[in-house]
Structure 1
Amino acid sequence: MMVAGRVGQGFTGGAMIPTAMTIIALRLPPDQQPVGIALFGITAVMGPIAGPVLGGWLTENASWHYAFFLNLPVGVGLLLLLTLGLPPARTSLELLLKADWLGIVGLPMFLGCLTVVLEDGQRESWFESSVIVLLTGFALFGLLMLVVGQLTAERPVIRLGILFQRSFGSVIVMAVVTGASLYGITYLIPQFLARISGYNALQSGMVVLLSGLPMLMIIPLFPLLTRKLDLRIAIVFGLMCYSVSCYVDTGLTAGADGGDFNFSQLLRGFGQAFTLIFLNQAMTRSVPREQAQDAAGIYTAARNLGGSVGLALIGTMLDRQTSLHTQRLMESVAANSLIVQERVLQSGSDPQSVQLSTVNIFQVMIREATVMAFNDMFYFFAISLLVITPLVFILRPIQRAPAAAIH
């Protein structure tokens, strides 16, 4: 039932972000687009931040089931606003019949199967599992359908050819990495606090929410910043803040708690705000106006793909790094076996005390290995964000004349 619900959410909600970005690019006059992009970017960043808090509060005070009803009032309000704010348009059955159905079916098949392969491959021993082999085949078949649709359809579901435009291609690469970082860090911090610090869902959500404070502080300045500040400088500043915030978290210990994330979360909030909002602006400005709809769809798919792949890789890499560090700690314990034996015998020489002490030592090793694995993940994201920073200089500077508001 939950899987079916998630499929429905993805099917119905997947078009919302690219549609909203297309409306901004096509319906707002050029001089108002920076404001529209900034306001839309704020909602895109605040959603993943506020979600864990609301979900955690409902889980702790009511039931986790109620978290799935959060979108009901939002959806009703959205329908009313769309009805009042957008002019009615007639549905064209002819366009529906001419749609790129190969691409429409192939794209989710490719991305969905690829995500499952990356997420469950480690647990299923990769291609030793018939399920992983089957899903890989479906992913390749979906990719083939997408490519055929690109070559044969009059209006492909997304025009992948614009990826070869230098500025837009660099934006997409940055979108994949920042998407993985946004969703990955939002996943890592609650997991660390739950497994190491013993936090509940609400307490973890409050720590995640801390990164939203910088966003709230600089909301009034964003329309001015998007008009006056070179977006390349803004994106570099955001990526550097984002990368440094991840590096700060590489020194976590088994005694860390939510307070140890205060500085990194505040710094991360500035990084997320500047990176994602100005990256949205770079996307809309890097393609001609007639390609805005395709660009918005690809950009959204890239960021979501980055998030999905990032979460899948986190699960795989956490398991692998935990096993690696556990093995190294066990080797260290074996190399210092006399010291370990003395510590064990301090609790008593009877078999029950020895067994209890041995179990405690093993639990400590697992705990320390888990902390090291989390530190490795934060280091991975810090390096990833640093590596993509030079791509910013591929972006063309934005002309301030109104006629060149979309380039």
Structure 2
Amino acid sequence: MTETSKTPESSKSTGSSKSTESTHITDSSTAPPPLDAAVLKIAGVIVIGAIMSILDVTVVSVALPTFAYEFQTSYANVAWTMTGYTLALATVIPLTGWAADRFGTKRLYVLALVLFVLGSVLCSFAWDVTSLIVFRVLQGFGGGMLMPLGMTILTRAAGPERIGRLMAVLGVPMLLGPIAGPILGGWLIDAASWHWIFLINVPIGVLALAAALIILPKDNAEPSQSFDFVGMLLLSPGLALFLFGVSSIPETQTVMATRVLLPAVVGLILVVAFVFHALRTEHPLIDLRLFQNRSLTVAVVAMSLFAVAFFGAGLLFPSYFLQVRGETTLAAGLLLAPQGLGAMVSMPIAGQLADRIGPGKIVITGMVLISGGMFVFTQLGSTTSYGLLLGALFVMGLGLGASMMPIMTAALQTLNDASVARGSTLMNIVQQAAGSIGTAVMSVVLTNQLQSRELASAAIAAQQSPEVAASLPPGAGETGLAQAADAFGNTFMVALVLIVITLIPAFMLPRKKFEASTDSGVGKRAIVVH
């Protein structure tokens, strides 16, 4: 066995001690230890909470037209029930890493579940759109802590050498949300009322709360670290203002609007100020010194590009089926199922392979699969075969299962226990911010593409209104739908280019097996690369 040293990792523990990382290279092919029952029980608790929070996002997305009708307001106003939730996530996620160290992950996870369930109940009693937005923000405060806390708890329970498979487990709710959300939301609204899309969270939340109290390990909080109030005052409102401005782009149709520029620029200034502050503070809200870890830095770049492309494009898939093909909400949700099914097939396999051969090779394969599926959607027509489209969605699902969670694995695998909470928090901030940017960018590109085609918008409107359809001249509807499909295809081309660019950082991700062990020295950790 040959041995090479690696620069000490700059991740800081909650005290004043530092972690040292060394690398050993060996030819052994020993498989990582299997996941034991205790770890799987913890994973089950985390998955229940994650399913609840992620499912809620996709369920609410199909209810926006219902909210507009019930509260007699515009679609732009009810869209803030989604945006407000996202802004709450952006505000609370930076606090999660410090709070997990200060109060313990179990206590904080229980608090997050309580806030989410309480917010859900209040949302079901909303009397107007303003009250609904306020209660959604409260819900977002709880939901924003669930995913980073879940990743932290799982990583600490399983250890870095098994994190690939645990990330695959945590990826299940990310797949079930887009599949089941539109279907469940459409069914609840049709069969009962919009109130039930929130009330459904109560029994799930109670189950998650009971399981968390019984199963999650006892906290080992270290209250010695001081809280970075200056960092909080810079980063949390900075992220919220920046995302508010970006989220306003589709509504204003221009980046030059005051509503977009003012909050986005102020938010960006606050975030930049936080960067300078964090690099000169002993215990910053988000430890930017983690970027000295090459694997995490490359993973952050890969996740940023991937989230902008994939989550932005994810908004367009149901829109194409609804607007161009004239499908119902329930049918559109069912048509998207192959993507989730593909991911469910590949994600467990990718998780095991990431532990055995390193995440880099898996992510490259995933990006190639997504690129192939996305290319089909760049060639969209108004009558493109559903068989071809469903096959492309399945292939993209295979790629998704081999991409997102292995990227997370690459980021967290080389961090020590003291840095895991901060690392998972950082990755969740990146994912949320990039996803919001991607949604706004793709919305603007699609809107501009549709506006540049004379009959596209009219043909889409005709799909929803017989009166509009009757007013169009003969053949205009078919021509307009063809133009609309072309607009969607050009927008998917933007997503495809970004996915291809993501291959660059993907090639830099670790392509060797990582196996962590603890040396006898205090705070030292070895990583064995096979």
Tell me the TM-score normalised to structure 2 length. 0.64
Letter in 1 for 2:299: V
Q: Which residue among 78, 82, 85 is the counterpart of 2:208?
A: 78
How far is 1:394 from its partner?
A: 1.7
Q: Does 1:263 align with 2:377?
A: no
SS state at 1:199 partner:
coil
Aligned partners of 2:456 and 2:484 also within 8 Å: no
Deviates more, 1:100-109 or 1:300-309: 100-109
Alignment CA distance shift 1:122-1:307 (3 Å) = closer
Work out which of the two has the higher radius of gyration on C-alpha atoms and give 1 or 2: 1
How far is 1:32 from its partner?
A: 3.7
Q: Distance in 2 between matches of 1:370 and 1:51?
A: 26
Q: Distance in 2 between matches of 1:160 and 1:279?
A: 19
Q: Distance in 2 between matches of 1:108 and 1:30?
A: 29
Q: Does 1:205 align with 2:306?
A: no
Aligned partners of 1:102 and 1:148 also within 8 Å: no
Q: Distance in 2 between matches of 1:139 and 1:372?
A: 35
Alignment CA distance shift 1:218-1:90 (3 Å) = closer
Q: Does 1:273 align with 2:401?
A: yes
Letter in 2 for 1:297: T
Q: Distance in 1 between matches of 2:390 and 2:508?
A: 34
Match of 2:485 in 1: 371
Match of 1:161 in 2: 289
Alignment CA distance shift 1:357-1:201 (3 Å) = closer
Residues 215-270 of structure 1 show CA distances to partners (whole Å, capped at 9, x for unaligned) of 33356645543333442211111011011111111121122475442111110110
How far is 1:201 from its partner?
A: 1.3
Q: Distance in 1 between matches of 2:472 and 2:182?
A: 38
Q: Distance in 2 between matches of 1:78 and 1:244?
A: 38
Identity %: 22
Q: Which residue among 363, 385, 389 is the counterpart of 2:499?
A: 385
How far is 1:196 from its partner?
A: 1.0
Residues 33-53 of structure 1 show CA distances to partners (whole Å, capped at 9, x for unaligned) of 333222112333333333222
Deviates more, 1:186-195 or 1:83-92: 83-92
Q: Distance in 2 between matches of 1:137 and 1:381?
A: 25
How far is 1:30 from its partner?
A: 4.4
Match of 1:58 in 2: 188
Match of 2:154 in 1: 24
Q: Which residue among 317, 328, 332 is the counterpart of 1:189?
A: 317
When the two chains are superposed, the root-mean-square deviation of aligned CA atoms in Å is 3.1
Deviates more, 1:138-147 or 1:47-56: 138-147
Q: Distance in 2 between matches of 1:92 and 1:2?
A: 37
SS state at 1:394 partner:
coil
How far is 1:174 from its partner?
A: 1.3
Residues 166-213 of structure 1 show CA distances to partners (whole Å, capped at 9, x for unaligned) of 322221111122223342233211111111111111111111222122
Match of 2:444 in 1: 316
Match of 1:2 in 2: 132
Q: Which residue among 110, 113, 124 is the counterpart of 2:238?
A: 110
Alignment CA distance shift 1:371-1:289 (3 Å) = same
Q: Distance in 2 between matches of 1:18 and 1:207?
A: 30
Match of 2:412 in 1: 284
Count of residue pairs brought into register by the alignment = 380
Q: Distance in 1 between matches of 2:275 and 2:349?
A: 43
Q: Distance in 1 between matches of 2:220 and 2:291?
A: 31
SS state at 2:403 partner:
helix
Q: Which residue among 165, 182, 187 is the counterpart of 1:35?
A: 165
Residues 74-110 of structure 1 show CA distances to partners (whole Å, capped at 9, x for unaligned) of 3222211221123444888875xx3223333433322
Alignment CA distance shift 1:147-1:402 (3 Å) = closer
Alignment CA distance shift 1:405-1:75 (3 Å) = farther
How far is 1:133 from its partner?
A: 3.9
Letter in 1 for 2:264: T
Match of 2:102 in 1: none
Residues 344-396 of structure 1 show CA distances to partners (whole Å, capped at 9, x for unaligned) of xxxxxxxxxxxx88745665554333222210121111111111112122223
Q: Does 1:171 align with 2:299?
A: yes
SS state at 1:50 partner:
helix
SS state at 1:293 partner:
helix
> After the TM superposition, which residues 213-252 of structure 1 pair with which residues of structure 2 at under 5 Å, given as runs?
213-218=341-346, 221-222=349-350, 224-252=352-380
Q: Which residue among 101, 109, 120 is the counterpart of 2:248?
A: 120
Q: Distance in 1 between matches of 2:320 and 2:388?
A: 12
Match of 2:260 in 1: 132
> After the TM superposition, which residues 308-347 of structure 1 pair with which residues of structure 2 at under 5 Å, given as runs?
308-326=436-454
Q: Distance in 2 between matches of 1:170 and 1:155?
A: 23
Aligned partners of 1:399 and 1:405 also within 8 Å: no
Alignment CA distance shift 1:250-1:140 (3 Å) = closer
Structure 2 unaligned segments of length 5 or more: list them: 1-130, 458-469, 518-525
Letter in 2 for 1:304: Q
SS state at 1:15 partner:
helix
Q: Distance in 2 between matches of 1:239 and 1:119?
A: 27
* Structure ranking higher on relative contact order (CA contacts 8 Å, 6+ apart): 1
Q: Distance in 2 between matches of 1:364 and 1:240?
A: 34
Tell me the TM-score normalised to structure 1 length. 0.82
